[in-house]
C-alpha cells in the first residue's frame, strides 16, 4: 500500500506535490482543511500523512494531535510529515510535540520530499 | 563583445534550463536553487586569465563570468579583491607552514555579504526590479541596504531582534525599512516570503534567487589567482546558508573548464558550524542528502544560526565531492579563537570567521591536515560589527 494523505489548503502546493508523488507511483488523497483531513485519515488506510500546519479551520498541530488520539489504532503510528510556509519560532518543535515525525519548511524541495517519503514508504 | 557570457539558468535539482532574460527565483518544478551558467567557450576565446589580472581591482574585473549584461547596471562599492593574508604566527603555533586567512572584512559594509548582494542587486536592477526584501541574521541586511540605496531600489529587511546593533543601524542608515522579529532567520525568512508574495517584493533570500552565489564565487577565482592558478589544499569555511561554499566550488569547476588552472587538484572543503546549530555537520556525518531542521538553534555567531539552508543538498554534495568534512565548534572555542586571531595576527574577526580557527584546531588534533598543506581560513566579516 502506498497511499498518502495530503492535508493542505493551497491548490498550487497540492498540484505540485500530487504531480511529484504520483510520478513516483504513490496514490494521493487530498483534504483541503484540518477537519476533513482527520476524517480522511480515519476513513482511509493511508501509509503516510503530509500535513500543512497553516490550515483554515484547525491548525496542523491540532490535526496531528487528533490523529494520534484517534480510536483507529493504526493512526498512532502512521508517519506524519509536517510542512509549513512560515517556519515560525518553535514551529518545528511544536509539530514534533504534537505527534509529527518529521518537519519540512516550504518551499518543498521535491527531491527532499521524495527522500523523506521514501524513508517511510517505498515508492510504488 | 558581450560584457557577460551568461547563457542560461539551470536547476541544481532537476537540470531544467531557464532563460536569463526573465526574473526567476528557484525552480518551480522541483523547488531547488537555480545556478547561473555561462558560455565558457566564448569566454575562453575572448579573454585570458592574465588580462583579467591586469584589470582594475575589484569583483567586476571578472565580468565575463558574472551575470550583468549591461555594465551600466553594475552597482559597485569597492567589493572584491580582499587580502589573502599569510598568518605565520598562528601557523607556527599550530604547526602549519602554509596557513592563510582570506579576510573578507575588507569588503564594503564589512563582510563577504557585499559580494553576493552586489551581484544580486545589480542583476535586480538589470531586470527592472524596483523593490527587494531579505531575511537576515545580520550582515546580509546591511549589504543589501547599501547596494539597494546606490541602485535606487527600495529595500525591506527582516531581522531577528537580537541581530547585532551595527547591522540594524547600517541598514536604517542606508534607507531600508527594518523589521525586527522575535525569532530566528528561518522565522524572518517566512515573514519576508509572505510579504514578498503579498506585495510583490523580490526576495533576495539565500539561494531563492540565482545571483548571490555568483558574487560569492569570485572568492574562489581570487584564491586561484593568488596561488598562481593552483588551488589550496584545504578551505575552512563558516557555513550558514552556504552560498560561498557552493559558489567557490562552482568557481573551481568553471576555472577548470576554462583551462585556467595550472593544477586542477581541488581543495578539500570544510564546513564549519556552531555546536548549537549544526544541521550540515549532522547530515554530513549521517550520510544524509538533506539536513533536518535544527531545533532550538543557538550560538553567538549569528551568521551561523541557520537551522536549515535552502541549498543544503548542494552544500552536502559539494563537501562530499571535495572529500572534505564538516566540523562543529563550541561558542567558547569561537571566542578563544577570536582572541587568538587578534593577539597573534592583528585580525579582529567576526565570530563566524573565528569559528574556522576553532575548527582548524580540531582538524589538526584529528590529523586531518598535514603540516605542509596550504590551508585557507575564511574570515567572513569584521568583529567590529558585533560590538554592543
Q: Which residues of A touch B194 (CB under 8 A)?
A: 85-86
Contact B242, B312 (CB under 8 A): yes
B184:A85 CB<8 A: no
pLDDT class for A113, splitting at 50, 70, 90? very high
The DSSP H or E segment spanning A4 is strand A3-7
Residue A103 pLDDT level (bands cut at 50, 70, 90): very high
Contacts of B357 (CB under 8 A, 6+ apart): B90, B337, B340, B341, B349, B377
pLDDT at position B193, please? 87
Is the separation of the CB atoms in B134 and B140 below 8 Å? Answer: yes
Is A11's Cβ below 8 Å from some Cβ in B? Answer: no
B51 contact partners, CB below 8 Å, separation of at least 6: none
**Cα separation of A115 and B283, whole Å?**
13
Count each helix (H run) and each strand (E run) in chain A, helices first: 5, 5
Distance from CA of A104 to the nearest CA of B (A): 7
pLDDT given for residue B185 in this prediction: 79
Tally of CB atoms within 10 A around B293 = 22
Chain mean pLDDT for chain B = 96
Q: Strand B177-181 and strand A80-84: pairing? A: unpaired
CA angle B353, B355, B359 (to 5 degrees): 130
d(CA A20, CA A12): 12
DSSP designation for B335: H
- Residues B292 and A88: their CA atoms lie apart, in Å, by 16
Contact list, B32 vs chain A (CB under 8 Å): 109-111
Q: Does the pLDDT of residue A123 top 90, yes or no?
A: no
Which residue bears the cell 569566454?
Answer: B43
- Is B186 an interface residue toward A (CB < 8 Å)? yes
**CA pair distance B3, B74, nearest whole angstrom:** 11
- Spatial neighbors of B121 by CB under 8 A, at least 6 apart, are B75, B132, B144, B147, B148, B151, B153, B204
pLDDT of B186 over the 90 cut: no
In this complex, do A109 and B308 lie within 8 Å of one another by their Cβ atoms? no
Q: How is residue B8 written as a grid cell?
A: 542560461
- What percentage of chain A reaches a pLDDT higher than 90? 85
Residue bearing the bigger pLDDT, B191 or B157? B157
Of B30, B190, B290, the CB nearest to A87: B190
Mean pLDDT over residues B168-184, rounded?
A: 94
pLDDT for A9-18, tens place per residue? 999 999 999 9
Q: Is the pLDDT of residue A61 over 80?
A: yes
Percent of chain B scoring above 70 in pLDDT: 100
What gap in Å lies between CA B63 and CA B118, rounded to an integer?
A: 12
Interface with A, mutate which of B24, B28, B30, B311 (most A CBs under 10 A): B30
Per-residue pLDDT tens over the stretch B354-382: 999 999 999 999 999 999 999 999 999 99
Amino acid at each position: 500500500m502506498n497511499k498518502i494523505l495530503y492535508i493542505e489548503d493551497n491548490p498550487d502546493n497540492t498540484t505540485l506535490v500530487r504531480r511529484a508523488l504520483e510520478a513516483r507511483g504513490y496514490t494521493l488523497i487530498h483534504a483541503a482543511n484540518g477537519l476533513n483531513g482527520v476524517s480522511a485519515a480515519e476513513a482511509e488506510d493511508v501509509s503516510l500523512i503530509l500535513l500543512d500546519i497553516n490550515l483554515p479551520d484547525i491548525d496542523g498541530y491540532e490535526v496531528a494531535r487528533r490523529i494520534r488520539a484517534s480510536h483507529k489504532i493504526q493512526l498512532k503510528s502512521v508517519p506524519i510529515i509536517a510542512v509549513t510556509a512560515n517556519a515560525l519560532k518553535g514551529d518545528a518543535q511544536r509539530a514534533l510535540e504534537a505527534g509529527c515525525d518529521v518537519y519540512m519548511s516550504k518551499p518543498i524541495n521535491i527531491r527532499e520530499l521524495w527522500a523523506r517519503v521514501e524513508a517511510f514508504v517505498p515508492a510504488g | 563583445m558581450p560584457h557577460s557570457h551568461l547563457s542560461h539558468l539551470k536547476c541544481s535539482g532537476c537540470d531544467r534550463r531557464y532563460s536569463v532574460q526573465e526574473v526567476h527565483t528557484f525552480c518551480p518544478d522541483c523547488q531547488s536553487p537555480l545556478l547561473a551558467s555561462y558560455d565558457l567557450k566564448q569566454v575562453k576565446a575572448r579573454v585570458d586569465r592574465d588580462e583579467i589580472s591586469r584589470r582594475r581591482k575589484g569583483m567586476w574585473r571578472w565580468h565575463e563570468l558574472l551575470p550583468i549584461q549591461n555594465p551600466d547596471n553594475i552597482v559597485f562599492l569597492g567589493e572584491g579583491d580582499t587580502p589573502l593574508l599569510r598568518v605565520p604566527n598562528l601557523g607556527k603555533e599550530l604547526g602549519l607552514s602554509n596557513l592563510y586567512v582570506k579576510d573578507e572584512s575588507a569588503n564594503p559594509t564589512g563582510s563577504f555579504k557585499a559580494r553576493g548582494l552586489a551581484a544580486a542587486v545589480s542583476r535586480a536592477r538589470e531586470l527592472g526590479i524596483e523593490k527587494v526584501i531579505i531575511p537576515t541574521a545580520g550582515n546580509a541586511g546591511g549589504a543589501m541596504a547599501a547596494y539597494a540605496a546606490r541602485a535606487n531600489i527600495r529595500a525591506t529587511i527582516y531581522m531577528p531582534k537580537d541581530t547585532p546593533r551595527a547591522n540594524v543601524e547600517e541598514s536604517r542608515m542606508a534607507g531600508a525599512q527594518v523589521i525586527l522579529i522575535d525569532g530566528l532567520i528561518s522565522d524572518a525568512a517566512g515573514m519576508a516570503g509572505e510579504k514578498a508574495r503579498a506585495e510583490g517584493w523580490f526576495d533576495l533570500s539565500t539561494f531563492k534567487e540565482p545571483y548571490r552565489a555568483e558574487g560569492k564565487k569570485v572568492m574562489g577565482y581570487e584564491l586561484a589567482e593568488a596561488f598562481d592558478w593552483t588551488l589550496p589544499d584545504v578551505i575552512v569555511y563558516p557555513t550558514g546558508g552556504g552560498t560561498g561554499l557552493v559558489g567557490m566550488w562552482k568557481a573551481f569547476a568553471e576555472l577548470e573548464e576554462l583551462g585556467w588552472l595550472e593544477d586542477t587538484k581541488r581543495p578539500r572543503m570544510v564546513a564549519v558550524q556552531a555546536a548549537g546549530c549544526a544541521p550540515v555537520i549532522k547530515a554530513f556525518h549521517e550520510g544524509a542528502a538533506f539536513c533536518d531542521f535544527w531545533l532550538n538553534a543557538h550560538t553567538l555567531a549569528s551568521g551561523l544560526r541557520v537551522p536549515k539552508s535552502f541549498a543544503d543538498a548542494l552544500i552536502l554534495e559539494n563537501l562530499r565531492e571535495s572529500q572534505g568534512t564538516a566540523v562543529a565548534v563550541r561558542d567558547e572555542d569561537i571566542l578563544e579563537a577570536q582572541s587568538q586571531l587578534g593577539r597573534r595576527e592583528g585580525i579582529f574577526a567576526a565570530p563566524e570567521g573565528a569559528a574556522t580557527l576553532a575548527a582548524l584546531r580540531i582538524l589538526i588534533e584529528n590529523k586531518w591536515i598535514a603540516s605542509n598543506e596550504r590551508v585557507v581560513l575564511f574570515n567572513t566579516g569584521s568583529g567590529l560589527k558585533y560590538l554592543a
